[in-house]
Structure 1
Amino acid sequence: METLVHYGQKVANLYDAFKRGDINMIVNSLSRDCIWEVMGQPDIPFAGIYHGRDDVKEFFMKLNDTLDMSDFVVEHILENDHLVMACGHMNAMARTTNKRFSTFWCMQFEFNDQEEIVHFRDCGDTLACARALK
């Protein structure tokens, strides 16, 4: 992986927190009015636009209720000023159908001057996920 600098290292720490199930660490890194976007509406239960910390907690609960991720790999983290882009891949199983799928993903994190995430956007193969859920 690339050498990480300030915000890139923060994002790497967030992925480590996600892998160990420390959702509070992630939520505490958000601005109070953070916008959290996940592609795939209406076919993916956790997809949508979430506003603020409480909504993002709800996102993580929906994500956990929907998918069992067996593999979540960060491949690249790139930083430019207050913007961080991360790319990787994951393997998961839909909990309701036991169908497996894989996807590459790209996530964007935008930070404010207080080093809080103000905007997050997640993109992946939403069709593969939706098909696994049916």
Structure 2
Amino acid sequence: MNEQQNVQKIQEGYDLFRKGDIQNLMKLYTEDIEFVIPGPAQVVPYAGIYRGQEQVTTFFAKLHEAIDFERFETVECIAQGNAVVALGYAKGRARTTGQISEEEWAHVFRMRDGKVERFQVYTDTAAVVQAFQRSNQMAM
């Protein structure tokens, strides 16, 4: 696939995510997909490394249980070769604390044969950690 087709595939994935259609979203990933989500797993319930379709499906379940998104938007997608970088913004409420997490993020996708083989998140982990901590705890 060319770079524009890769960007279209990523944008399709974001649309499916926003609709909550994880079943069809998973069709955009290779069988050996790898997700890298930063943060301390003892605080951020969905942080970690997920490998394969089953683990990535678990990630999406954990994310849904942890955050109620008010906004999740892609601002720009940049492609070069088999890589796509998406820049965006998210605002959501941590379900366990009721606190808001607001962040700008970068997502890096590696494509193989028209599907995503690797996904890595870059974000303000301190802001995310703070949303999952009770207000009487200090942010890490």
Q: Same fold (TM over 0.5)?
A: yes
Provide the identity percentage.
28
1:130 counterpart SS class = helix
* 1:28-82 alpha-carbon deviations (Å, 9 max, x no partner): 1111111111011222110100000010000000000000000011100011111
Query: Where do residues 100-111 of structure 1 align in structure 2 (5 Å cutoff)?
Result: 100-111=100-111
- Where in structure 2 are the equivalents of 1:1-134 lying within 5 Å? 5-42=4-41, 43-112=43-112, 114-134=113-133
User: Which amino acid is the alignment partner of residue 128 of structure 2?
Assistant: C
**How big is each residue's C-alpha offset from its partner over 1:63-109, in whole Å with a ceiling of 9 and x where there is no partner?**
00000000011100011111100001111100011111210000011
Number of equivalent positions: 130
TM-score by length of 1: 0.93
**C-alpha displacement of 1:20:** 0.6
The 4+ residue runs of structure 1 with deviation greater than 3 A are none
Q: What is the alpha-carbon distance in structure 1 between the residues aligned to residue 36 and residue 30 of structure 2? A: 14
CA distance in 1, matches of 2:16, 2:55: 18
Structure 2 spans left out of the alignment, 5+ residues: 134-140
Distance 1:60 1:108 in 2: 17
My pick for the range that moved more, 122-131 or 90-99, is: 122-131
What is the DSSP-based 3-state SS (H/G/I as helix, E as strand, rest coil) of the residue aligned with 1:97? coil
5+ residue gaps, structure 1 = none
SS in 1 for 2:11: helix
* Deviation at residue 126 of structure 1 after TM alignment: 1.3
The Cα RMSD (Å) is 1.1
Letter in 1 for 2:95: R
